Structures are given as C-alpha cells and as structure tokens.
Structure 1
Amino acid sequence: MKAAAGMRRVALVSPLGGCGRTTLAAHLASLLAERGHGVLVIDLSAQNALALHLGLLESQADAPLGVPARGWRDSVSEEAWWGEAALESSQGVRLLPHGAWKSACSVSDDPPDGWLSQQLDQLDLPGPGVMLLDTPALPAALALQAARCADLVLLLLDASARSLHWPQPVQALGETLPPGTQWGVLVTGVDARSASRMAALKTLREQWQQRLLPYPLHRDESVQLAQERGVCVHQHAPHSQAAHDFQGIADWVERQLGLQRKTRESA
C-alpha cells in the first residue's frame, strides 16, 4: 500500500525539550482537519503524549494516564502494518500513537537511513492531505529522518536565552535537507510580561529574519485548561491569544504547502 498522491509531510522538530512540538502537532492536526484537509498525525516520541491533546484516551490498566497502550512501536515489534494501531478523533484527525513506553524499550531508536520514509510510504491514506510528524528532540535519529523526508520542516525554539546559541547547528541541519524542502523557525513561549523572554524574541528575530514565522506562539494558560478537557484551545477558548496564534500558524502551513481550504461538505 502506498501513501496517497498529494499527501504532504510536515515535520515538527527542535533541539530543545519543552518547546511545544506535541502541542503544536495536535493543534495543527485539529485545525487542518476542521478546514477540510485529510490529516494523519504520527507520534514519534516515546512520551506518547499526543493523544492527550486530541482526547483519544483509553481506560486500560496498561495505559498510564489513559494514553494509548499500543502504537506503531508495537507494529514494528510484531512486523505488522502500522495502520492497525491508528485511532481517529471526533474531528476526523487520524492518529498513529507511539505506544506505551515499554514498547520503546524493545525497539532500536537508531533505524537505518531512510527507514522512516519507507514506513510512511506503506501507509494507505484516503486521498490528499497532510501528514504531521511529532518528533523526539534532535539529534534523535527519528527526528533527523522525519526532517529529511518532509516537504516542510518547522523548527521550534522557545523565547529564552537557551535558544540563542543554535543558529550554526540549525543552519547546518537545513543544509542537509533534500533540495526543495521548505523550512522555517517558530518561536514559542512568548510572554510580554517577561523582559528576558521579550529580549530573547528580539534576538531570535535578528538571527533568523526571513526564516522566522510571522506568528510567534505566546504562553497562555488556556492551552493547559483545554488539554485537561481533551480538546484544543481554539475549541475551548476561541478568542484566546493562543487560539489566534495557532490559527495563524495553520494559515502559514496552508500557504507553504499550497493547500486549498475546503469545507467538510465540499471535501
């Protein structure tokens, strides 16, 4: 089985933990699905947390906090088709969870070059759309492979001093991407009440210039409150700052990929 023609891959990567890759993956998936695009989101991180944001929880004894106990890691171990582990949200988002942490312990995290792209090619997807890849922190092998098989790479850096030392390594990563791969830098954790974060944002804008997305992602308690309810922030608090930010990022992704927005009725 081959991936459907026109399925575009978007990799969310970062050299830093806690920058919001999983939160962004869930919100982009939900927003793009609501805009009529077919969406498959794949959790490549052993934290297995993406289902929490999408409300796809289970009540099994071996599923801590309700996250899915089985995922694509189990399929790899059993030499089975990844699609057997797929879940679907009420918004029409298809999710391939990572699977419980115990699954990660039994499978190598250092697959051969090109392995991930080969696995994704085998997914039977129902028409054109977007495949979102939520990754572990760089330089994990799966994160590098996700970036190198994507049409669009979003690199996340938070508005803090720790993000100011990455221009050279990130530029080096960009040079290893296949010709034609688009990539941009998204600043997260922006807080107008914090002088240090605003200073970091200013420096990041100077460092990345045209590579920087025009929509930074602000700190907003509404995101956490939405997660506790198993929904995304634009569904819980549509007029919040974070909801506005995620909508803008989704707009940018649509433009970069040349996606034509459509309603569910016309999909």
Structure 2
Amino acid sequence: MKIIAVTSACGGVGKTTLVASQAALLLRRQITVVALEMNRQNVLGSFLGLPDRSLPGLLAHARDGQVAWPAAMHRNEEGVRLVPFGQADMPDAITFDSMLLNDPDWLASQLQSIDLPENGVVLLDTASLPDIKAAQAIRCADLVLCVTRPEPVANAALAQSFEMLSADSRKLKIVANGVSPARPMHYDMLTMLRACVGIDTLLPLRIHFDDAVPESYARGVHCFDMAPHSQAAHDLQGLANWLAHWVRTGEAH
C-alpha cells in the first residue's frame, strides 16, 4: 500500500479537484484507491458523486481514537472508496486537532489497519498548510504532492512552507495547476518557482487552465468524461499515468 498526501500552501489552488480526478483515474488503471479527506471543508464527496455532506466520515469514526475503516468508507458509482471528513462544528474540529497534537503518529498508525492490496493507494486530501492534519499526512506519506498555482500569492505561501514540505525532499513533488498560456506572468512565476524548489521537485507535468473543469463538475462528472479531448483532460490523464508508474515501480521518472 502506498500513501500519497495531496496538500497546498494556500487555499483555492484546485487541490481537492485534483484528488477527485486522480482517485477516479487511478481506479481506471486497475489500482485500488481510498480517498481520505483530512479537511474539515468536507467537500471531496461532492467531486466524487456523493453530494450528501451529512454522511458520517473520519470525524465520527475517530471519536474513540480508533477508526473502523469499513464503516467509515463510502463508495461512489465507479467504485472509488471515500472516507469523507464529515460535518464538523468548531468544538469537534478542535477536539480532533487536539488528538492529533497529542499523538503525532496517530494517522500513520491508523492507516496501517486499512485493508488494501500491495499496489493499493490511499490518497490524502489535506487542509492547506499550516495545519496539524496536513502535517500528519505529510509525515506518514510515501509521496507528497503539493498543488500550487503560478500566482504571486501562491508562490509566496509556498516559499514560506517549503522548509516543512521539503523535510524529506525525496518524496516531495510540486504540481502547477491552472497554468494559462495566455498569461505570460504564469511562465515568469513558474521560472521563479523552479528556482525556489529545484528542477527535480517541480513536476514537468502541468495542469493547464481549462473551462471544462468547473463546467464538468457543475454537471456532476469529470472533465475527462465530459470533454475527453480538452487540454485539462490530457493533463490529468498524464498525471495519472505518472502516478500509476510510481505506484507500481516506486520510481519517480
């Protein structure tokens, strides 16, 4: 089993959309996937065809400190297993974060009890940094994908969080999302980002800006199903191929 943490240094960069798309595409590549939401926004299910945000999830099943994964999991129509975070009021969210602060290895120990085949994948959709849920996900992950946009605010936030993210730089990859060829500034930002994180850390695969992405999710489908020949569909398929190769070989080519 491999654990992939998908995180970001700031919100609004398309992280949850990316998790949903990769969960579906990896499953279509015969890789068993569990999408685990470590984010109190509790919206991942909406992107995977489970719009009922009242479904019990991680929060409800972790109140005694031990997660019964089969009870916490839901499946969408195509078979992606999802553990939503679940609806959380402020006291519940604070209690959960306090548990994580008191037990830095809680998530790692709980994930050991998920029943997945050797080539199975747990995709962790984390809150944006700095956040204790994201920190635990990064700590136990075999691969960390940090999603960013080629924008000044996102670059600045990533620079502030880079030391934490790169504690084990061998497992960190930066994914640029929402790249627009019509905006020369984006390429300037990518050049600056590459200089900041290093050529080996910034994935050469880019997810380009494409109106097909929000339009497809507004219709409750993935963009690679609604618009299979769109640029975003091509990019997301390419990222899924890269991840599937990594899952099967352990090599980040």
Determine the structure 2 residue equivalent to 1:122.
113
State whether residues 8 and 257 of structure 1, in contact with CA within 8 Å, keep that contact through their aligned partners in structure 2. yes
Determine the structure 2 residue equivalent to 1:203.
192
Report deviation, 1:256.
2.5
Aligned equivalents of 2:165, 2:13: Cα separation in 1: 18
- Whichever residue aligns with residue 186 of structure 1, its letter is V
State whether residues 28 and 246 of structure 1, in contact with CA within 8 Å, keep that contact through their aligned partners in structure 2. yes
Determine the structure 1 residue equivalent to 2:88.
101
Q: Which of 69-78 and 39-48 deviates more?
A: 69-78
Equivalent residue runs for 1:151-230 within 5 Å:
151-165=142-156, 166-167=158-159, 169-175=161-167, 177=168, 182-207=171-196, 208-230=198-220
- Poorly superposed stretches of 4+, deviation over 6 Å: none
Give % identity.
35
Work out whether 1:73 is the aligned partner of 2:63.
no
Report deviation, 1:78.
5.3
- What TM-score does the superposition give when structure 2 sets the normalisation length? 0.88
- SS at 1:9 equivalent: strand
Aligned equivalents of 1:234, 1:73: Cα separation in 2: 31
State whether residues 138 and 165 of structure 2, in contact with CA within 8 Å, keep that contact through their aligned partners in structure 1. no
Work out whether 1:46 is the aligned partner of 2:40.
yes
- What TM-score does the superposition give when structure 1 sets the normalisation length? 0.83
Determine the structure 2 residue equivalent to 1:145.
136
- Can you list the C-alpha shifts for 1:51-108, whole angstroms capped at 9, x where unaligned? 1111112xxxxxxxx3243111001125551331211122211000110133843633
The count of aligned residue pairs is 243
Report deviation, 1:15.
1.3
Aligned equivalents of 1:105, 1:132: Cα separation in 2: 21
- Can you list the C-alpha shifts for 1:161-212, whole angstroms capped at 9, x where unaligned? 123333464144312x3x9x52211111211222332321232233331211
Unpaired segments ≥5 residues, structure 1: 1-6, 58-65, 261-267
State whether residues 68 and 97 of structure 1, in contact with CA within 8 Å, keep that contact through their aligned partners in structure 2. no
Of 124, 127, 147, the residue aligned with 1:136 is 127
